[in-house]
Amino acid sequence: MKQVTYHNRYGDNIIFKEVDSTTVIMYGFEYYRMGDDFIDPSGGPYIQIGTDIGRYFDDGKERRVKSIKVIEGKAIFTI
């Protein structure tokens, strides 16, 4: 599956890794805010339910977030 790196405004390397057709993991951040329907790592990117994270992969495939959970410092998105 695909893996891409996003450089946020603080210069952190945020990794998006597509595990399968319905799951993407985001990691590479230490501090973050989280609510019922969003996650916001310090320096970005802010992602909420409904966000198309496919834009980070730059392959034209839509990956719209349906749910978010954080386990062991990694955000797990169901798309």
- In this prediction, residues 69-74 reach a mean pLDDT of 95
pLDDT of residue 58: 87
pLDDT of residue 1: 82
pLDDT in tens, 28-69: 999 999 999 999 999 999 999 999 999 999 899 999 999 999
Which residues, at least 6 apart from 49, have a Cβ–Cβ distance to it below 8 Å? 37, 38, 65, 66, 67, 68
Query: What is the DSSP code (8-state) at residue 52?
Result: B
